[in-house]
Chain A
Amino acid sequence: MDWLIIAAIKSGFVIVILLTGFAYGTLLERKLLGRLQVRYGPNRVGPFGLLQPVADGLKLLGKEDTAPAGADRVVFTLAPMISTACALSAFAVIPIGGTIDLLGRRIDLVVADVNIGILYVLGVTSLGIYGIVLAGWSSNNKYALLGGVRSSAQMLSYELALGMSLIGVLLIAGTLQLPKIVEAQATVPFILLQPLGFIVFLIAATAEVNRSPFDLPEAENELVAGYHVEYSGMKFALFQMAEYVNLIVVSSLATTLFLGGWYGPFGLLPGPHWFFLKVFLLICFFVWLRATTPRLRYDQLMRFGWKVLLPLALANVLLTAVGVLVLQG
């Protein structure tokens, strides 16, 4: 029974971290956007605006829960749950640190150390798209429908490039298990060995989490709010949560696969703080992107995915394979 209790405790920790990350991710984004747009951002609610997410949450909790006439109520309610659940569970296999000794036990700083970690993450995040598609479909709203359709098309175009960009890492590390991949980077982070793979991964991941310049499913200027146009109150908050948690997951994945996870540079003490610092910087990068880039068009995005990203990812696989063969041989 021990493993179950430990797993439960770990899950609890991760969920708390992710939800705090979500809440303060929104604040970070708003503050950073403010600075990037020559203004302050929230600073009135609590010291330095630190209570802003709390106020937002409280307010959303008390909002009326509306559903449009003609909506498929069951699916409409289910959709945000699917999105959030998938986003949260994707984090389960991501290691935030090595192994620590606690109360006489050796504890891995990962919820579930499965041997097909990468596949699991890819699978679960793909499932999350269902939330968006179903939300778009069940809302009985044309904007939402267009958003949902865009989302599925986008996923098809980018999932492949995303998967391919990781193969280089797998070839070098020789495992699908995420903690082992991190350990393989103890001396050299894979970003140095896989620069092309990292770039392809980052672009595909941006599309995967619907962030600007690939935020087509909710493209405010075209589709008002896209797939979640009809959602209010906590259901809307769940979608926001899914979006930010996905952002964290993707940043964590990039950290784990390319940036050396919990290892610090110059042999400095490794630990979760390095992991969190790297994730934080990546999130800032995504915010920066949002503040500075216009959005691509739907068909341009697809073309880019199929005609540029996928060939690049394939070339990367080829190069890596040859490199690995030569070095081993």
Chain B
Amino acid sequence: MDKPRGRTPPPPAEAGQTDEQLFRPVADTVLLGSTAQVRELMRDGLLERVLTRVTNWGRRSSLWPLMFGTACCFIEMACSAASRYDLARFGSEVMRASPRQADLMIVAGTVTKKMVPMIVRLYHQMPDPKYVIAMGACATSGGPFKEGYNVVSGVDEFIPVDVYVPGCPPKPEALLYGLMRLQAKIDGESFSAIRAPREDMEKRYPIPLLGPDLVDVRQIPEIQKLTAAPVVEAATAEEKRKPVRAAAPEKTLPPGRAVALLKKSDAKSGAKGDSAETVLARLRQVPGAEDDLDGVTFPAGRWLEVARVLRDELGFDYLSNLTSTDYPDRIEVVYHFYSTARTGEPLWVKVATSRSEATVPSLVPLWEGANWQEREVWDLMGVRFDGHPDLRRILLWEGFAGHPLRKDYQEPYYEEPAKPFGSRWPDGQHRRAEERNPFGRNVRYPHGFDPATFVEADPRIPVVDATELRAGIPDAEKMIVSFGPQHPSTHGVFRMVTTLMGETIARVDSVMGYLHRNHEKIAERNMWAQVMPFTDRLDYLCSMSSNLGYALAVEKLLGVQVPERAEYIRVIMAELTRLVNHMLAIGTLLNDLGAYFTPVLYAFEERELILDLFEMTAGSRMMCNYMRVGGVARDLPDGFVERAKALVEDRLPRWLAEMDRYLTRNEIVMTRTKDIGKLTAEQAINMSVTGPMLRASGVRYDVRRAEPYSIYDRFDFAVPVGQNGDAYDRYIVRLAEMGESIKILERALRDIPAGEVLAGQKRWQIRVPKGEAYARIEAPKGELGFYVVSDGGANPYRYHVRPPSFINLTALDAMSQGHKVADLIAIFGAVDINMGEVDR
């Protein structure tokens, strides 16, 4: 130790930027003054060793995660904070919602192109030293959604990742192990090691832009080169020449015509006494109507008029589903109508329009519930809706190139129209998708696109609208606050752009698509059986329900008879799922009301017990992938029934009673939720709201009763309804439904017969006869519908999900106006959504 410590003056500043200046230790300066002094002190090594030990120990022992998760993995991340795993033991339960106070970003879930700019921005907002864990297959590499057009192949393309946790989703134990690996990594860090300064990090990991596709500004020269050269265009043209699989629809409907199809079976149950004939007879009176096909056709221009007749005269007051199918010669917009007063099958209406100038009259004037569904059809299929008040893209962003659900749309990682891909099966060799793409990642740009001169579309939402002007709200008194996409109460990545007057809400504009993982497009490339695991990831809390809905839709086309035992197993699983969902719905609602995690952690504790049952049956606790077309994948394991009985007959009723005792008459819960977010029955039906929300508004409508599926007609259960349609009633309805589910479960577990669990042989591929089907179930969150079109091939020609979470959210703006900021969160929580299902 011949050097005097800490007395050397700092070296004179040099003109050029040396490494020393570029990489100065940011954190260290806080501790001990100037960098030069620290370096001097460190020359002998002892001080450095001590400091390294101490600081590393502090950092490793106090890793506060950013409270943020994009998808399914976040549920497991939340589980890891619950009693069975308890992240708190490591001192990491302090999940900070503000990135300024977080040390660790756990990227839990799929990273979409729409979301990645936000993630990078959050990363930069975190103070140094910061760490990143990529949790799950998606965050690591794109996972099962890699081929999607809106999915990034791993978050490490945009921010540096320290630890990868594999799994889909990884179990909480895996996350804990990941955390321990990160701690080990921190132990190996050196105190004097250089940490790049902020400006440099921001340059190295820039925030990408949302252009016609995701623009990584580091790739600008490459993009300029490739989009300028005609080669890209030629390649695309060649691709285009490959035959797009031509569907051979049985009925052809000329563009510009609409057809109303009524299933004959509906006529029998018509409560209003409308037989199929009377309905069709009434429709025939529409000017220009002709008998055709199975029903009546009429000019598309008269569609709004016909729809009004359907709603006001014929009682089809409830627009369940609105979607579209792309055929080689036309696009059909498909509607499914029901009556809330009657039971039975839906009335289908299809409106055909030309592919080049697809336009259809909007139904928003009649059904508010058509609003977002039409925006979705515009976004993904490129059909314009005449008379729509606000036709913007909804899942993708303004400026995105193309309408992805069109059959001729090809994703950047496009390989072939449908699986199995010749390159991989039977004896092909898989090449990484990145190697086939000229940019080395999941992007494609139109010819002539110049990222250097590109200006991102104004992301702002037009905030002044007619109602505001009429209400005379002056601009100066308004404040626009954006809740989300990273916000503790958005239940995932949802964004509410809220116009506030003080704390009072004038308007809520919802922005979504941050988790749009191209479910439908991927499903249409997949084979029928391959779609099943993707349905798990729709509503990732209720994978069993989604499985069931999809299986039912395909079974309708196939006409299979599901074995008795399998039907019972399905009901058991679906009702257990409902319990899981409602537990968490109530728990998170309380969280949104400001209860500090206690109710939700109690819910997680019970949920674990049900997940154990799922795990012992299906092998996976969250993504069960258990149902099959024609039954279930395998029989129940030994001991399942006993364990389930013990749970259903003893523990869960006690838990339910406990929740009821603590929450139902709780003074604060009542003042916070009563008269908040009211929806009348008429409003709810008009907005196509379903599930507990609809019933809370006093409409006794449950698909299990209205159009019984599986063996629900054998069970005796009540359909609880509310009176006021407020957030409190939604809570009460959910609580009561759990009681009913327990009743169904008790009965099903008692009566379950022995026997087969799958009709026919296990097959790796199913062939589905030509046709189309719409099947719906009462999923925990509402009516979950699957619309499938088969052209007789190995893949679904069209596959559409009617997501209850998405459509229920249509009512958010109407429910929140005039309430306070805190109420918005409560209202949103009481809707009970799941972003996997909203964005798909």
Contacts and interface: CB of A to CB of B under 8 A. Distances in A.
Interface of A: 30, 33-34, 36-45, 49, 51-52, 54-66, 142-143, 146, 150, 212-213, 215, 219-225, 228-234, 236, 290-300
A142 B62 contact: no
Contact of B825 (A30, A33, A221, A234): A221
B485 to A, nearest CB: 12
B503 interface: yes
B556 to A, nearest CB: 42
Interface string B494-508: 000000000100000
Contact of A62 (B96, B100, B129): B129
Contact of B127 (A36, A57, A232, A294): A232
Contacts of B103: 59, 63
A61 B31 contact: yes
Interface string B22-36: 000011101100000
B601 A38 contact: yes
A44 B98 contact: no
Interface in B473-493: 479, 481, 487-489
Contact of B595 (A38, A59, A146, A293): A293
B671 A296 contact: yes
A236 B97 CA distance: 13
Contacts of A236: 100-101
Closest 9 CB pairs of A and B: A295-B594, A58-B58, A55-B61, A64-B127, A294-B593, A64-B128, A232-B100, A225-B98, A59-B62
Contacts of B820: 297-299
Contacts of B489: 221-222
A64 B481 contact: no
A34 B86 contact: yes
Interface string B85-124: 0101111011011101101000000000000000000000
Given A59-B103, A225-B101, A294-B590, A42 B822 contact: no
B481 A45 contact: no
A173 B666 CA distance: 38
A230 B127 CA distance: 11
Interface string B459-470: 000000000000
Given A59-B62, A212-B596, A295-B594, A38 B605 contact: yes
B127 A233 contact: yes
Given A142-B481, A297-B672, A292 B598 contact: yes
Interface in B560-611: 590-598, 601-602, 605
B596 A56 contact: no
Nearest to B130: A64
Residues of B in contact with A, size category: 35 or more
Nearest to A240: B101
A43 B89 contact: yes
Which of A45, A58, A221 gathers the greatest number of chain B CB atoms within 10 Å? A221
Contacts of A233: 30, 127
A42 B87 CA distance: 8
Interface string B51-70: 00011011101100000000
B88 A34 contact: yes
Contacts of A55: 57-58, 61-62, 91
Contacts of A300: 671-672
Nearest to A34: B88
Contact of A219 (B88, B666, B822): B822
A315 B669 CA distance: 28
30 contacts: A34-B93, A37-B602, A39-B601, A40-B88, A42-B88, A44-B91, A52-B91, A54-B58, A55-B58, A56-B58, A59-B59, A64-B127, A64-B198, A142-B479, A143-B481, A215-B594, A220-B488, A221-B594, A225-B100, A229-B100, A232-B127, A290-B596, A291-B598, A292-B598, A293-B594, A294-B595, A294-B668, A295-B593, A296-B668, A298-B503
B595 A292 contact: yes
B100 A222 contact: no
Contacts of A293: 594-595, 668
A63 B487 contact: no
A215 B596 CA distance: 11
A30 B128 contact: no
B83 interface: yes
Contacts of B55: 58, 62
Which of A55, A61, A294, A298 gathers the greatest number of chain B CB atoms within 10 Å? A294
Nearest to A30: B88
B98 A40 contact: no
Contact of A44 (B59, B89, B598): B89
B777 interface: no
A232 B590 CA distance: 28
A63 B671 CA distance: 41
B821 interface: yes
Contacts of B98: 224-225, 228-230
Contacts of B59: 58-59, 62
A76 B501 CA distance: 25
Given A42-B89, A233-B30, 6 more contacts: A37-B602, A62-B55, A64-B127, A65-B127, A142-B481, A146-B821
A58 B57 contact: yes
